[in-house]
């Protein structure tokens, strides 16, 4: 069977990069990108989908004979706290729509991203195990914890091949995150390259698990390619990249930009971060489908700075796009 992939949330931080990787892997015509708006100059097939509209998802799935879905649309941890009930509605409604469309149209494989936000104070904060107690303190985390259980339910009850990763904070130069607690770790590199002062919304010792975009994308594709019988976890897999605090990333950046200025102005996002793991035990992902990260803090920093310098040199139009 020919693989035809639908990405829901293709304009997001991960979605935009994943779309390009999937286009490379399966071919331009085999990948249907979708989001609320079509971006300017999009290269490939794009359909406008509001994932709260189940019929619209189904229409696209049927039209293109979609075989795999990556459902990346969600409201993240920090943004989600502005309107908790709306966040719950959107995150859960879109997931149920995708689960139902997948079940009814015999979708071959479905990817549902979860997050380190599923953990809370009931879990050990160091080397948090895959099967740790889940008591999330944000509505985003609650929606992901519930989503993981629904994913497993659809697997057990209907045999739907749903696979999931609990992403740490994702750091990449290609796109900007929106509304997360780990967003600072992307923004800080932009400020360094622009030679601007950085105001950090977390405390300097707020260590969090992070992963470089290349590693995050590779993890996703490797999980989705793994033989079905190797997948022993149908809620969601822990993956670890590296862990660092704002002070550690600042020290790394200062090796290249000794003048880089930072001030700390922790806000409500510090409370969110303080209940999340500092490091993650990802042994099960390593055992089941061979997960192993490649990028450490030094490699992330040198790559981010080099790529962002190139991007900003490309002119004011791109500069503006990057700063949105
Ligand atoms: N990066 C996400 C956030 O900060 C975690 O999944 O909300």
Residue nearest (by alpha carbon) to ligand 1 atom 2: 180
Please state whether beta strands 45-48 and 31-35 pair in parallel, antiparallel, or not at all (unpaired): parallel
What per-residue confidence (pLDDT) applies to 200?
Answer: 98
Catalytic residue numbers read: 140
The pocket around ligand 1, CB under 6 angstroms, is made up of 76-77, 115-117, 140, 167, 169, 180-182
Alpha-carbon distances of 151 from 60, 79, 146, 233, rounded to whole Å: 22, 24, 9, 11
Nearest to 20 by CA among 50, 2, 45: 45
What per-residue confidence (pLDDT) applies to 45?
Answer: 98
User: What are the beta bridge partners of residue 6?
Assistant: 32, 69
What per-residue confidence (pLDDT) applies to 315?
Answer: 60
Q: How high is the mean pLDDT in each 10-residue block of the chain (324 residues)?
A: 95 97 98 97 97 98 98 97 98 98 98 98 98 98 98 98 98 95 98 97 98 98 98 98 98 97 98 98 98 98 97 66 46
* Half-sphere exposure in the Cβ direction for 220 (13 Å, CA): 29
Give phi and psi for 304, each to the nearest 5: -60, -45
Give phi and psi for 87, each to the nearest 5: -60, -45
Among the atoms of ligand 1, which is closest to the Cα of residue 78? 7
**Number of residues that make up the chain:** 324
Mutate to test the pocket of ligand 1, among 74, 75, 77 (most ligand atoms within 8 A of CB): 77
Separation of 71 CA from ligand 1 center, angstroms? 16
Among the atoms of ligand 1, which is closest to the Cα of residue 181? 4
- DSSP state, residue 39: P
Contacts of 40 (CB under 8 A, 6+ apart): none
């Amino acid at each position: 069977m020919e693989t035809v992939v639908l990405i829901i949330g293709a304009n997001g931080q991960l979605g935009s990069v994943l779309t390009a990787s999937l286009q490379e892997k399966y071919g331009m015509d085999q990948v249907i990108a979708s989001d609320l708006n079509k971006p300017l100059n999009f290269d490939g097939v794009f359909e406008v989908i509001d994932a709260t509209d189940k019929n619209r998802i189904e229409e696209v799935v049927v039209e293109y004979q979609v075989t795999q879905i990556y459902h990346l649309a969600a409201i993240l941890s920090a943004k989600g706290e502005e309107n908790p009930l709306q966040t719950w509605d959107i995150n859960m409604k879109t997931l149920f729509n995708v689960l139902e469309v997948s079940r009814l149209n015999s979708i071959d494989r479905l990817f549902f991203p979860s997050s380190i936000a599923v953990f809370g104070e009931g879990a050990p904060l160091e080397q948090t195990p895959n099967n740790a107690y889940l008591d999330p303190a944000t509505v985003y985390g609650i929606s992901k914890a519930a989503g993981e259980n629904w994913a497993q339910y659809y697997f057990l009850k209907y045999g739907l091949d749903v696979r999931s990763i609990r992403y740490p904070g994702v750091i990449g130069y290609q796109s900007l995150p929106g509304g997360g607690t780990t967003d600072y770790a992307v923004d800080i590199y932009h400020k360094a390259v622009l030679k601007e002062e950085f105001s950090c919304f977390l405390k300097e010792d707020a260590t969090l698990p992070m992963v470089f975009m290349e590693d995050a994308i590779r993890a996703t594709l490797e999980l989705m390619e793994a033989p079905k019988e190797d997948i022993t976890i149908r809620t969601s897999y822990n993956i670890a990249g590296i862990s660092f605090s704002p002070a550690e990333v600042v020290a790394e950046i200062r090796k290249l930009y000794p003048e880089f200025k930072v001030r700390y102005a922790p806000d409500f996002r510090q409370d969110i971060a303080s209940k999340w793991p500092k490091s993650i035990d990802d042994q099960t992902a390593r055992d089941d489908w061979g997960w192993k990260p490649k990028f450490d803090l030094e490699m992330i920093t040198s790559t981010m700075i080099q790529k962002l310098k190139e991007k900003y040199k490309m002119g004011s139009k791109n500069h503006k796009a990057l700063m949105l």
